[in-house]
Amino acid sequence: MLRPVHVCCVLLCMARLALGATPESVKLLTDFETSNPFEGGKIVQEHAAEGGRALRIDKDYAGWAGPQDWTGYDYLKADVFTDARVPLPVTIEIRDRQTTGYSTRVNYQTIIPPGKSTIVVPLDQLYMGDKSRPGRRLMLDAITKFYFAIGEKPLAPLFIDNIRLERDVEFSKAFFEGLRAFDLGPDTGPVMPGFTRIDPATSYFKERGYGLLPGTRIWRAVDALQPDPLYQDFLCIERGGIAVDVPNGKYHVFINLDGPSGYWGDYQTYLHRLVMAQGKVVIEDTMNFDTFRQNYFRFWNTEDLPTDNTFEKYQASRFH
């Protein structure tokens, strides 16, 4: 059975001057200079990123309990140091007011490279449970506790300083007058900053200027929960399509019509798909069972080698 086309995003850009960027906004949670809100670890004068004090964790964890509101921020950041000779595994646990156990808290795992570095945790991509079996999204306005954990027998101590929340000021630099950017997915899915949502209820009409064409049939609207707010959700269109009205001019158009291969990795299949501009076909693809089989099973007799770049080998071709 041939499945519908997956559409993640559409960008249409007309060459204009870039708009001014929003000033950077940072909220310092603690730098340990005047107080220590954490339980566990100890305050030392070694490896402070700013000032003269940092939190040192020798084993297990250190946690901050108390209500916090992280709404409006994009990243949780912390300056860190370890003298381990190899990367140090770290788990960041975050709880909100609905947390009752492991599956209802964030269990974010990362590694700290030797020496100085900065932990960057994208708040809009945090889900309860594990990455492979994510649950609901973290309630940023109802944080109750968060921890840094390095285990009972870590490779070396972890030093933490300058824990802060930051807004993303870089994405706005990529937007300019004349750019139209659309993020397709379910009405409950995330929307990439600066993009406009198109969900199954976004019908096209002249006053709106964009949306799903009359008679469009959606097979599924999917939020695969990873890898990021733009590519984790998409619409599977069985019939019909989307339309966008733009002023006359010369445009660059970027469309993701490929399956993101998240979730269960559904392989995109279709009989016929096309892209039209000014009523003319500019891209046209067809697929039958033989071409589907050649693509789907193209690695059936290929052995993975230690030197292979598996992303380039398996994934890059899906994002051409």
- Mean pLDDT over 4-17 rounds to 65
Query: What DSSP element (H or E) covers 254?
Result: strand 251-256
Are the beta carbons of 174 and 116 closer than 8 angstroms?
no
Strands 233-239 and 217-223: antiparallel
Write the DSSP symbol of residue 176: B
- Res 264: pLDDT: 56
C-beta atoms surrounding 208 within 10 Å: 11
- Res 18: pLDDT: 41
pLDDT higher than 50, residue 97:
yes
pLDDT higher than 90, residue 161:
yes
- Res 1: pLDDT: 40
What span, in angstroms and rounded, lies between the C-alpha atoms of 142 and 152? 29
More confident residue, 317 or 33: 33
What span, in angstroms and rounded, lies between the C-alpha atoms of 280 and 161? 58
What span, in angstroms and rounded, lies between the C-alpha atoms of 186 and 235? 7
Q: Strand, coil or helix: what is 316?
A: helix
Place 165 in a pLDDT band, splitting at 50, 70 and 90.
very high
In tens, the pLDDT along 183-211 reads 999 998 888 888 999 999 999 999 999 99
- Res 17: pLDDT: 37
- Mean pLDDT over 291-316 rounds to 86
Tokens of 40: 């566990």
Average pLDDT of the chain is 87
- Mean pLDDT over 95-104 rounds to 94
What span, in angstroms and rounded, lies between the C-alpha atoms of 305 and 204? 49
Question: Sign of the CA dihedral 252, 208, 19, 183?
Answer: negative
pLDDT higher than 80, residue 132:
no
In tens, the pLDDT along 56-93 reads 999 999 999 999 999 989 999 999 999 999 999 999 99
Place 130 in a pLDDT band, splitting at 50, 70 and 90.
confident
- Mean pLDDT over 299-312 rounds to 88
Taking alpha carbons only, the member of 99, 109, 110, 112 closest to residue 65 is 99
CA distances from 17 to 180, 181, 247 (A): 14, 16, 17
Q: How far, in whole angstroms, is CA 200 from its chain's centroid?
A: 22
- Mean pLDDT over 164-192 rounds to 88
Strands 60-68 and 127-129: unpaired
What span, in angstroms and rounded, lies between the C-alpha atoms of 226 and 295? 24
Place 299 in a pLDDT band, splitting at 50, 70 and 90.
confident
